[in-house]
Structure 1
Amino acid sequence: MRCTHCGAIIPDDMLYCPECNMEVQIVPDYNPLEDVLAREVKGSVEDATRQIKTDDIRRYRRGEALEYNNSTRVLSQNELDEIRARRNAASQGPRNRQTTGAMRQGRAEAEEKRRQQIARKKRLAKKRRKRALIILLVFAVLAGMSGFFLYQNSYAGQMSKGNQALRSGDYTAAENYFNSAISKNEKKPEGYTGLSKVYIQQDDLDGAEAVFLTAISSQPSNVELYRAVISFYVDTDQLLKVSELLDDCEDDEVLKGVQAYVSNAPEFSLEEGTYSEVQEVSLNSSGETIYYTTDGSEPDTSSEKYTEPILLQEGETTVMAISVNKREIPSLTVSKVYTINIPVADAPAVTPSTGQYDAATQITINVPEGYTAYYTLDGSEPSDTSAKYEGPIDMPEGQTMFSAVLVSKQGKYTQVTKRNYVLEPAG
């Protein structure tokens, strides 16, 4: 680079001409074409310019070469910063240059120290992250172990152990685990169900049933417990006991909770007792099937299915009935005893009365409704195999021992009426 004042060659690192001691003129990167374009754009906006011509561009370029060829060169921004720093150092004299060097060295040392601090912080952060990860892992392991031990001793853990022991046939261990689960939460039904299975697998249904009944006696409002014992009865085919269980329940909320298993006993249209006439009795149970017997035997689903009123004949009849709901749960048996005792009519009225007759006479019998009259003419005891009375009878000549009896529809006999007739017609 040459000095613009004396033309001497100036070294690149010098800010003053070594010959004339004039300050070097430094300019940044410059493109004259950009100035031309900028002026043209500005002129177009202000309506005071002309079109850019090729000659103008060439002229600017030649001017650039002439103007800057011996005085400067294009410098980068880093070079400009370095030159400015040197210029400032030169203008301030040797002491300032020393200070600038010290400052530069100090900056370098500070930069190095900063880098070391950053590296140290990174190492510390890495150590902290590693330490935190180890602590987190330790806590996770401890939490897992704690959770495992808590689970093992919890209701669910005891139930799991009990079921495993039950599957392996270790009934003593299973019973202990299920009892432990019940002690931790006596309201949950799973513990009782597990304990009942211990007895079931040993063919002790009474013991299994006792598990539930004992629990219900102390928890009469536990709906889930009732559901568990009902499932036990269904699984062991003891359906009648479902109705027995619910019949003893006095908690409306429980009955509401197990409504699907409630089987209402059938209702009788006729109260039991003694009647003097033939009767009919109707049975009713809303939406359920009714089965009944009249011979005193316990009814079940193989008994007579109720479809129409039951006719009660003379004598004593015991009607027993059950209802069966949609879940095939039979109700409790309802039993009623009926006695039909129809009064027997008095001995039949027979006319004429006993005596001697000398003219043709007819014998008549008064037959009440519901009866049939039978008679004999030889004094023998009349029965339903004797002559049937169907109208007045001509009295035979001579002596006649007339006997008559009434027989009801139920086959009951009245007392016998007897008459002694003597018919001797005159001359």
Structure 2
Amino acid sequence: MKCVHCGANIPDDQMICPVCGAEVQIVPDYNPLDDVLAREVRGSVEGATRQIRTDDIRRYRREDLTKNINSTRVLSEDEMERIRSNRRKSTNNTERNSAELRRQRQARQQKRLEAAKRKRRRLLLTLAAVVILIGFGIYVAYQNSYTGMLKKGYRAVNEKEYMAAEKYFDRAIIKDKSRPDAYVGLAEIYLDQNDTDGAEDVYLSAIETQPTNEKLYQAAIDFYMETKQPEKVASLLEDCEDDNVLASVSEYVCEAPEFKPEEGTYKEVQEITISSDTEGEIYYTTDGTDPTAKTGKKYKEPILLEKEGTTEIRAIVVNMKGIPSGVISQTYTIEFPIADAPAVTPSTGRYTDPQKITITVPDGYTAYYTTDGSEPTASSEKYTGPIDMPANTTTTFNAVLINNRNGKATEVTTRSYITTAE
């Protein structure tokens, strides 16, 4: 038979064209005589036979000119059996050919499946290798990253390998000096060895080189709070000149207190008030020492300065986080004014008539006097009212005023009296 695709001859025992590779499509031939024979067989079974009709033969001849059917006789059983046998053989051959085609098709499909599996396997192996390489690269990058250095540093601290830990933290700082984590790690090395001052130096040195780094200031504040040194937070922020930093840690900023009136010298009793814009408590001292929340007096009402002299008041504010402000000191001097020397009457002179000596005493003073010429003091005779001038003698009368608040004495007034009888 010939290939319907390329026209090449195909051997009978092959189902694929040897030239173009196309499969042979087998379709059983249609023979009209088969229908005629089938009808005759049915007629024989029913006990009736008939001749093959001429029009059937003509139709068969038109469809297949290569065959010459002239017989109109009834087929015998042997002939019918041969026909059936040939048909069975043809059917069996067709089935065998179809089975072979299916087998070949399945074989080709199996090869394609195996090839696809091999391709997928190679692809999966390639992807796995790529993933492993990427993972290894990520691992190496992480180990040498800022975070990786920190992790190694803290592991070394936990293992008491402080030199190795310092090396890792220093390498992290080189990678990014603006982040505070590595400085915290360095400080941890000192804290682990109970060296608080060394840990503090780590933060102060970092802030000195990065005075606008808000995160460093926050880390330093956290360090002071964790080590129970809140008073140093005030000093740290007091030296800060960057507004952005101060704004970022505003909750820790404690404004210093204000005094009214301002320090100075006053000639009368003063009430000193202390206030602050920071929410918290005010503590003060008047003995020249720096106040704390433990050693200072808690401010509740104005401080009364009613004695003459100099007083230094120092005060702080402790905010709600327990952070004190800087110490503010104010010095006040109270100097009450001194009255003039007392007025004494009568004036110096010679008198023959009895006289009364009087001293004018202003409010807040007490007068003292002597009649023997000595200088009067607070221990001398106290003036309570007019005094009789001694008779027939010469008297030197001295008087002084003593301030009742401060004990200061005025200038002495002296009078000389000569009394004679008529």
Q: TM-score, normalised by structure 2?
A: 0.74
Residue 378 of structure 2 corresponds to residue 384 of structure 1? yes
| Secondary structure in structure 2 of the residue aligned to 1:6 | helix
Task: Name the CA distance, whole Å, in 2 between partners of 1:254 and 1:19.
Answer: 122
Q: Deviations over 1:168-218 (max 9, x none)?
A: 221111111111111112121111011112233344434322322222233
For residues 235 and 371 of structure 1, the distance between their equivalents in structure 2, rounded to whole angstroms, comes to: 60
Percent same amino acid among aligned pairs? 48
Q: SS at the partner of 1:401?
A: strand
Is 1:418 aligned to 2:410, yes or no? no
Is 1:174 matched up with 2:212?
Answer: no
Pick the aligned partner of 2:139 from 134, 148, 153.
148
Cα distance in structure 2, aligned partners of 1:395 and 1:306: 57
Q: How does 1:75-90 map to 2 (within 5 A)?
A: none
Letter matched to residue 148 of structure 1: Y
State the partner residue of 2:175: 184
- Please state how far the C-alpha of 1:364 moved relative to its aligned partner: 1.5
1:406 pairs with 382, 401, 405, which one? 401
Query: How do residues 291-370 of structure 1 correspond to structure 2 at under 5 angstroms?
Result: 291-301=283-293, 302-312=295-305, 313-370=307-364
Q: Which amino acid aligns with 1:304?
A: K
Question: Does 1:209 pair with 2:200?
Answer: yes
Cα 1:419–1:101 change in 2 (3 A) is: same
- Which segment drifts farther, 122-131 or 217-226? 122-131
CA 111–417 in structure 1, closer or farther in 2 if over 3 Å, else same: same
Inter-partner Cα distance in structure 1 for 2:262 and 2:120:
89
Matched position secondary structure for 1:318: strand
- Unmatched 5+ stretches in structure 2: 1-37, 54-82
Is the CA contact (8 Å cut-off) linking 2:267 and 2:336 kept in structure 1?
yes
Mapped pair 1:258 → 2:249 = yes
Q: Which moved more, 1:272-281 or 1:188-197?
A: 272-281
Task: Find out whether 1:373 has 2:367 as its counterpart.
Answer: yes
* Separation in 2, partners of 1:19, 1:169: 119
Single out whichever of 325-334 and 375-384 deviates more from structure 2. Answer: 375-384
Q: Is the 8 A contact 1:360 1:425 kept in 2?
A: no
Quote the offset at 1:155 in angstroms.
1.0
Q: Secondary structure at the match of 2:216?
A: helix
* 2:218 matched residue in structure 1: 227
Q: Which residue of 1 aligns with 2:391?
A: 397
Distance 2:417 2:287 in 1: 49
Matches within 5 A, 1:64-75: none
Structure 1 residues 398, 330: closer, same or farther in 2, change over 3 A? farther
1:113 deviation in Å? 1.9
Residue pair 2:272, 2:303 contacting (<8 A) in 1 also: yes
For 1:203 and 1:422, the matched residues in 2 are separated by: 89
The match for 2:150 is 159
Counterpart residue type for residue 265 of structure 2: T
8 Å CA contact 1:163–1:194 kept in 2: the answer is: yes
* Cα offset, 1:106, TM superposition: 4.5
| 3-state secondary structure, aligned to 1:5 | helix
Greater shift in the superposed pair: 227-236 or 260-269: 227-236
CA distance in 2, matches of 1:403, 1:196: 78
Aligned-residue offset at 1:100: 7.8
Is 2:258 aligned against 1:267? yes
Counterpart amino acid of 1:319?
A: I
1:111 and 1:348 map into 2 onto residues whose CA distance is 148
**Retained in 1: the 8 A contact 2:392–2:421?**
no
Instruction: Give per-residue Cα distances to partners, 1:332-363, cap 9 Å, x unaligned.
Output: 01112222233322221211112222223221
Residue 6 (structure 1) aligned with residue 44 (structure 2): yes
Deviations 1:47-105 (A, max 9, x none): xxxxxxxxxxxxxxxxxxxxxxxxxxxxxxxxxxxxxxxxxxx9xxx9x9999877655
Given that residues 6 and 20 in structure 1 are in contact (C-alpha distance below 8 angstroms), is that contact kept between their aligned partners in structure 2? no
> How far is 1:8 from its partner?
6.0
Mark the CA change 1:21 to 1:174 in structure 2 (over 3 Å): closer, same or farther. farther
